[in-house]
Amino acid sequence: MSLHVVDHPLIRHKLGLLRAKNTAPAAFRRILSEVAALLSYDALRDLELVEIEIETPLEKMRAWRLARPITVVPVLRAGLGLANAVLELLPEARVGHVGIRRDETTAQPEHYYMRLPDDIAAGPVLVTDPMIATGGSACAAIANLRQRGCRDIRMMCLVAAPEGIKRLECEHPELPVFAAALDRTLDEKHYIRPGLGDAGDRIFGT
């Protein structure tokens, strides 16, 4: 796997705002969207293009279009916060949903929902989830997509823990992960430190 920590002053600035405990859900959602747009620049950099002919008001010319249909797959719930921002940039993208929640005591991922486009494997897939902690949820989501035949998969997250990245590297060595930060460690409750707390709670105010 290749972990790309997208290092940009705007991302660092906004991530600091997201981490701060007094940032309320409305601001958290807005800033998360801004970071997602910045991460998209790198995460979608290698999308395949085809050359087509168009006509400007003055003459014909060759231009570019995306070659294949892209699917954004948020891991519910918190992945929605990133996915919505990607859809602002890429309104033609399809959306697949994978519902996975961690058991609060064991930190084991539990699947509760999946709805994907039938031909999802026909194009690239961008999985979004702000947090990679133990990596259990991300590994389960990627394994499901692989079972559906997806090969061109990349993942966007906000904050990753070294433990989760190690697990992803082991189970999905070819998966590119685009993150705003690689944090220090997991604590005894499997929370990322320093982290930002429970991303879903902070996005949705639960």
Query: Which residues of this protein are in contact with ligand PRP, per CB under 6 A?
Result: 75, 77-78, 101-102, 107, 109, 129-138, 164, 190, 198-200
Q: How many residues bind ligand URA (CB under 6 A)?
A: 8
- What is the DSSP code (8-state) at residue 154? E
Q: Is the dihedral of CA 118, 121, 167, 191 positive or negative?
A: negative
Q: Whose Cβ is closer to ligand PRP: residue 22's or residue 206's?
A: 206
Q: Identify whether 129 is a catalytic site residue.
A: no
Q: Residue 77 binds which one of ligand URA, ligand PRP, none, with CB within 5 to 8 A depending on kind?
A: ligand PRP
Q: Residue 75 binds which one of ligand PRP, ligand URA, none, with CB within 5 to 8 A depending on kind?
A: ligand PRP
Q: At closest approach, how far in Å is the CB of 23 from ligand PRP?
A: 17
Which residues fall within 8 angstroms of residue 127, CB to CB, at 6 or more apart? 73, 74, 75, 79, 98, 138, 141, 142, 145, 153, 154, 155, 156
For residues 93 and 147, the answer to whether their CB atoms sit within 8 Å is no
Q: Residue 191 binds which one of ligand URA, ligand PRP, none, with CB within 5 to 8 A depending on kind?
A: ligand URA
Residue 190: which region, alpha, beta or left (left: phi > 0; alpha: psi -120 to 50)?
left
Name the catalytic one among 102, 146, 148, 152: 102
Q: Identify whether 106 is a catalytic site residue.
A: yes
Name the catalytic one among 30, 106, 119, 184: 106
The tokens of 188 are what? 């005894």
Q: Of 160, 161, 157, 159, which Cα lies nearest the Cα of 186?
A: 161
For residues 24 and 196, the answer to whether their CB atoms sit within 8 Å is no
Q: Whose Cβ is closer to ligand PRP: residue 120's or residue 131's?
A: 131
When asked if residue 158 is in the footprint of ligand URA (CB under 6 A), the reply is no
Q: Using CB under 6 A as the criterion, which residues of the chain lie in contact with ligand URA when the complex forms?
A: 131, 133, 191-192, 195, 198-200
Active site amino acids: 102, 106, 198, 201
